[in-house]
Structure 1
């Protein structure tokens, strides 16, 4: 993590960093200008603990962005994008991504600095998305002439709209939302056969 020691952290130090990043997500989602002191209080650690782990506020923000991006990569990987049938992979990945993005909305909403680990992880996710869409096209779930870059943008827009939420969607679980997204992505609003 940016701003942390290069050697691996002890288990208690890893827990401390995790608690700090989770608290930073909660606090900064409500107040993006919150102080390191406010984050320390929410994490249940001393301010000096944060400063020991992160040289400055931006180092903590960078670590937060990287940690969230890693969780997003794990969410995609858990959907078995290379081995599950494409329709199953699309559904699993979508449900997993909805969970991670809703839990880490602040961190995943940050623009990734070019050249950062977070930016590289987001680029890898985008490539993985195209690969899954290519597999879906090979399975005839997507028209062979479809522009996969456009389909990817539509997919991301559907994810974003689901994450923004609507009063009618209150209480819907991520599997239901994922099914809606995939149904809309693959079939649009046209009549069903």
Structure 2
């Protein structure tokens, strides 16, 4: 996976002064700039439109997802280690880039990029199943369906935990729910 060149965003652009995501569906550039604590002209100097701004944010988010997957080493690391690293990395991404992800799918390049990442994780989850960490008697794709919401909830609902601690909770929940007796 290659890293795309995307603009760096100050902390306030990602979270706003309130600490919450400044990216609601109806937010204008002026509202986003105000929430980030900058003048809208600052935003317009870097981005011609709200769509350009959001495309850059989505690109930066997927850069971070790619980095998290690469750091997990899903093809090389022991599966339990790779699972924890992946979950920890994605929780950190979800906290750093708390944006409405369903809107990202409108752009074809983002959709294609997302699909490559999904395929990489699906390959890893199959490896985890083949190596006995995950149960093989579950419906196809079930673990891939339940894992993302677990990570999203951990990122949002466990703010008092570090990404590593939240990953412990997610991995434990996942493995006790879909893990083999050996994984427990």
Against the structure 1 CA distance between its residues 87 and 100, is the aligned structure 2 distance closer, same or farther, given a 3 Å change threshold? same
Distance 1:52 1:172 in 2: 37
Structure 1 partner of 2:9: 19
Distance 2:33 2:156 in 1: 28
Query: 1:187: Cα distance to partner?
Result: 1.9
1:188 pairs, out of 174, 177, 183, with 177
Against the structure 1 CA distance between its residues 114 and 147, is the aligned structure 2 distance closer, same or farther, given a 3 Å change threshold? farther
Distance 2:23 2:128 in 1: 41
- In structure 1, stretches of 5+ residues that fail to align are 1-8
Matched, 1:77 2:70: yes
Distance 1:104 1:170 in 2: 14
Against the structure 1 CA distance between its residues 40 and 130, is the aligned structure 2 distance closer, same or farther, given a 3 Å change threshold? same
Distance 1:109 1:45 in 2: 27
Structure 1 partner of 2:132: 140
Distance 1:52 1:161 in 2: 35
Distance 1:57 1:35 in 2: 7
Against the structure 1 CA distance between its residues 48 and 177, is the aligned structure 2 distance closer, same or farther, given a 3 Å change threshold? closer
Query: 1:47: Cα distance to partner?
Result: 4.2
Superposed CA offset, 1:77-112 (max 9, x none):
111111101110000010011011111112546442
Matched, 1:127 2:125: no
Preserved CA contact (<8 Å) 2:143 2:178: no
1:92 pairs, out of 85, 95, 98, with 85
Structure 2 partner of 1:5: none
- In structure 2, stretches of 5+ residues that fail to align are none
| Structure 1 residue matching 2:141: 3-state secondary structure | helix
Greater gyration radius: 1
Query: 1:150: Cα distance to partner?
Result: 0.9
Corresponding pairs, count: 174
Preserved CA contact (<8 Å) 2:74 2:83: yes
TM-score norm. by structure 2 comes to: 0.77
Against the structure 1 CA distance between its residues 149 and 55, is the aligned structure 2 distance closer, same or farther, given a 3 Å change threshold? same
